[in-house]
Amino acid sequence: MSAAAPAPLLRRRLLRAGPAAALALLATGCGFQLRGAAGLPFERVALEGFGERGTALALTLKRDIEADGRSRVVDSPREAQVVIDALLAQRERVVAAQTAAGQVREFTLRSRLAFRLRTPDGRLLAPDAELVQVRDMSFNESNALAKEQEEALLYRAMEDDLSAQVLRRLAVLRLPAPPATAAR
């Protein structure tokens, strides 16, 4: 038996791969590229109202803010150029479907973040905003441990999405001019 593929099979593979390769060449030729991390116009950002600094959402925001290497999260709002005030940061799990016997079959998971972007002296940079991510998750008592891990992964994905949305809002902000001081 020959190791080489028969000619019709090889031709079929080339016909399938050809259009995909042509599309990839066209996309790169027109200047298309995936969106990278948004460069923030600020060097120092403070996170306030997230409770303890170890919350998952606060850690995700810190990681994403510092990802470009130009910006960093500072501890004191007085040191920051921009302050992200978390007005509400919570996770919710609601029963979405039950069997006739009352057994849970599906949950709706929500991760909610209401926040304000301001300067250290209290001037608002953008109106208050609320972001919500929702995911549905099936549930089966016999796979409870696996479903617990799936829930943790879904919450992590939602918090990554929330963080990306906050960073996109930060990326378009510009600091207002400092207040004019009266000349003497």
How would you write the pLDDT of the chain (184 residues) with one tens digit per residue? 555 557 777 777 777 877 777 777 777 766 666 555 557 888 999 999 987 656 899 999 999 999 988 999 999 999 999 999 999 999 999 999 999 999 999 999 999 999 999 999 999 999 999 999 999 999 998 998 999 999 999 999 999 999 999 999 999 988 777 666 655 5
- How far CA 90 is from CA of 30, 126, 155, 162, in Å, comes to 42, 21, 11, 12
Q: 126-154 as b/e, with b when 16 or more CB fall inside 10 Å?
A: eeeeebebebeeebeeeeeeebeebbeeb
Query: If you count DSSP H runs as helices and E runs as strands, how many of each does the chain have, helices first?
Result: 3, 5
At 85, which CATH number?
A: 3.30.160.150
80 DSSP assignment: -
Cα–Cα dist 68/156, whole Å: 21
Residue 8 included in any domain: no
Domain membership of residue 159 as a residue range: 44-171
Structural domains in the chain (count) = 1
Residue 183 included in any domain: no
Residue 24 included in any domain: no
Residue 34 included in any domain: no
